Chains A and B, each alone.
Chain A
Amino acid sequence: MTGLFSLFRRLEGPQTVGRGPRFWSLFAFVLAVALAYPLFSDGYTVGNTVYFLVWVFIALSLCVIWGYGGSLSFGQTAFFGIAGYGYGVLTLNFGSGYGFTLLALVIAVAIAALFAVLLGYFMFFGRIAGVFLGIVTLAVTLMLERFMAQTAGPEWHIGTARLNGFNGMSAMPPLTIPWPGEPIVLFADVGLYYFVLGLLVFVYLALRILMNSSFGNVIVAIRENPERAEMLGYDIRRYQLITFVVGAALAGLSGVLYTAWGQYITPSSMGMTAAALPLIWVAVGGRSDLTSTVVGTLVVLAAFQALTIYGSQYALVFMGVLLVLTVLIAPNGLVLGAMNWIGRLAARFTQRAG
């Protein structure tokens, strides 16, 4: 019981912004709004919102690896793609009966994590860091895209699932929860919304606990000064590898949810542009904090979609400009900067009142 209690105490700490009753009541309010939201909206808009939430997982994965761990990985979309294709291949072969889609979700995420173990072993135990880490992960991602793009022929299939080359795989079953009587099929509307929202809240809180635990403190120490962390007796390669695998699993989760949401996955979801987008969300939000990443991702995605409607061609240019300006002017991220500013303002206000 005390163990569980101390786990909850880790929800706030030095590695995450936001603490105290004020923050958590705001959190509860936002959660309540999110829960009530489908009551005031139609199925299509809710399904569209799920699309936003799906991307938050890959943003969180980059936040953990890059923001907390300090290793810049450009290859998160590789894990996204691997897990997405994994889900497609599994469900197209074995169908969706008996809750198999949920098992497929777990297996697909595990495949992505396993791939990350393999790749991460070569990188971290070869002591690749900084610039080269980004380049190797990006090269792997581009290679996977090219490989999947040329699998158009009928000879490229796994079981009964055709890979379909550049057109991608489609028509895989959506996530299904087995239920006595009739299984609940989570199509891209209210059902899937609550499923993904629940998953997101769980992942967010779990990551807060993880980052404020001793593990989180060590990976932040490695980010700040790898040599010093090593002198203090931590095997930094192992910590970096674990961080990388956790991030890969989150990116994989994003990929599975995306595939189940749209019943569709293509090689271009691993391409150069796709790989750049999570980077923009996380950099603009504030990479070294979970809350900023979530908020930043949702805001930038909403802005991107609005721009795409009004001037589709210019949206990507705008994203590029946004990224360059963020790096030049607010390297810690716009949302994080704003949150810190509000925090200081609130502190000053309470000081004056008290």
Chain B
Amino acid sequence: MDIATHVFSALYQFGDAFAFLVLSACGLAVIFGMMGVINLAHGEFIMCGAYVTAAAVHAGLPLPLGILAGTVVSALVGVLVELAVIRHLYDRPLDTIVATWGLSLIATQGTLIMVGSTMAGVGTPFGSFQVGDYSYSIYRLVLFCAALGVLAALYALFNWTRFGVLARATIQVPHMAAALGVDTRLIYSLTFACGAGLAGLAGGLYAPTMTLVPTMGATFIMEAFVTVVIGGADVFLGTAPAGGVLAVVKSVMTSWQGQLFGQIGLLVAVIIVVRVLPKGISGFVLRERT
């Protein structure tokens, strides 16, 4: 084995970890950045996306359309949740977290009752390729590209569209935006739906790689929390670099000591970072800039 294959292996693991962190975190980060609220039902939106994707594929749709269906259904559920619960709690962020935890309990147990303890999965597409002595899954590369694509799409959405401008105005000074005629409630609803849809997309994309159980959201949620806490409130200045840094920590620790130590490494990193940079990477960058 020469150095090139080692380098490729390290890069591949980094890319895999990066994609997982960014995809699972961006929905959470969008909602957090807009409303200052952590959606504890995030994992259940991911689960919803994965289940709908699997159901669509079983019904005969091709996988990309299935993933699209998962995304759309999650976003619609997000709209419903926002209308029924979140809307009434905007001035009480801590209570919002508690309420979303209640929703998460309902969703997990409700899925267990209605669908059963497991659902037939979807096969991983594309097969694998060989570098050196190891074979790698092509789908993991697709996921890495998807993560980059999601970041690019979010950048475009928030910078180049009318919705993006209004949303950023609402983030900065909600009252001022409202005074200037922005329907901030609508913006909040759309943002929540966007976050839920991104969670559904993550679920749909990862549906072919894992077993579908009602508690599968918990697999994502810790990584998502950690990335958002380290990243801070901004998706581009926070989530993306946090995903990069944490992916290094996770892939190094995982290849050194195994999966669990990868996660422990993440946790230690987050505790140290909150001590040093309480507002996360984006808070640090923004303070430097002003």
By a beta-carbon cutoff of 8 Å, the part of chain A in contact with chain B is: 72, 119, 122-123, 125-128, 130-132, 134-136, 138-140, 142-143, 146-147, 150, 271-273, 276, 279-280, 283, 313-314, 316-317, 319-324, 327-328, 331
The one of A127, A140, A319, A324 that contacts B278, using a Cβ cutoff of 8 Å: A127
In the complex, chain A residues whose CB is within 8 Å of the CB of B260: 146-147, 150
By a beta-carbon cutoff of 8 Å, the part of chain B in contact with chain A is: 32, 36-38, 85, 88-89, 92-95, 97-99, 101-106, 108-110, 112-113, 215, 218, 221-222, 225-226, 228-229, 260, 263-264, 267, 270-272, 274-276, 278
Judge whether A283 and B98 touch: CB under 8 Å.
yes
Contacts A142-B222, A279-B101, A320-B104 given; 16 further ones with Cβ under 8 A? Answer: A131-B93, A132-B229, A135-B229, A139-B267, A143-B264, A143-B267, A272-B215, A273-B105, A276-B102, A276-B105, A283-B98, A313-B112, A317-B106, A323-B101, A324-B99, A328-B85
B246, chain A: closest CB distance, angstroms? 12
In the complex, chain B residues whose CB is within 8 Å of the CB of A272: 104, 215, 218
Can you give 20 A-B contacts (C-beta < 8 A)?
A122-B272, A128-B278, A131-B32, A131-B37, A131-B38, A131-B93, A134-B94, A138-B225, A140-B267, A140-B271, A142-B218, A143-B263, A143-B264, A272-B104, A313-B112, A314-B109, A317-B113, A321-B106, A327-B89, A328-B88
Judge whether A126 and B101 touch: CB under 8 Å.
no
In the complex, chain B residues whose CB is within 8 Å of the CB of A126: 274-276, 278
Taking A122-B275, A126-B278 as contacts, is the C-beta distance between A135 and B263 under 8 angstroms? no
In the complex, chain A residues whose CB is within 8 Å of the CB of B274: 122-123, 126, 128, 132, 136
A104, chain B: closest CB distance, angstroms? 27
Judge whether B93 and A324 touch: CB under 8 Å.
no
Judge whether A327 and B110 touch: CB under 8 Å.
no
The one of A139, A140, A146, A320 that contacts B106, using a Cβ cutoff of 8 Å: A320
Taking A72-B94, A313-B112 as contacts, is the C-beta distance between A320 and B102 under 8 angstroms? yes
A73, chain B: closest CB distance, angstroms? 11
Judge whether A125 and B275 touch: CB under 8 Å.
yes
Judge whether B94 and A130 touch: CB under 8 Å.
yes
Judge whether B105 and A313 touch: CB under 8 Å.
no
B27, chain A: closest CB distance, angstroms? 15
Taking A143-B263, A313-B112, A314-B113 as contacts, is the C-beta distance between A130 and B93 under 8 angstroms? yes
In the complex, chain A residues whose CB is within 8 Å of the CB of B270: 136, 139
The one of B38, B98, B264, B276 that contacts A327, using a Cβ cutoff of 8 Å: B98
Q: How far is the CA of A276 from the CA of B97 in the complex (A)?
A: 11
In the complex, chain B residues whose CB is within 8 Å of the CB of A276: 101-102, 104-105
Judge whether B278 and A316 touch: CB under 8 Å.
no
A120, chain B: closest CB distance, angstroms? 11
In the complex, chain A residues whose CB is within 8 Å of the CB of B215: 272
* Most interface-central of A119, A317, A327 (chain B CB within 10 A): A327
In the complex, chain B residues whose CB is within 8 Å of the CB of A283: 98
Q: How far is the CA of A331 from the CA of B97 in the complex (A)?
A: 13
In the complex, chain B residues whose CB is within 8 Å of the CB of A280: 102
In the complex, the chain B residue whose C-beta lies closest to that of A129 is B278
A334, chain B: closest CB distance, angstroms? 14
Judge whether B95 and A331 touch: CB under 8 Å.
yes
Judge whether A135 and B278 touch: CB under 8 Å.
no
The one of B92, B264, B271 that contacts A331, using a Cβ cutoff of 8 Å: B92
In the complex, chain A residues whose CB is within 8 Å of the CB of B275: 122, 125-126
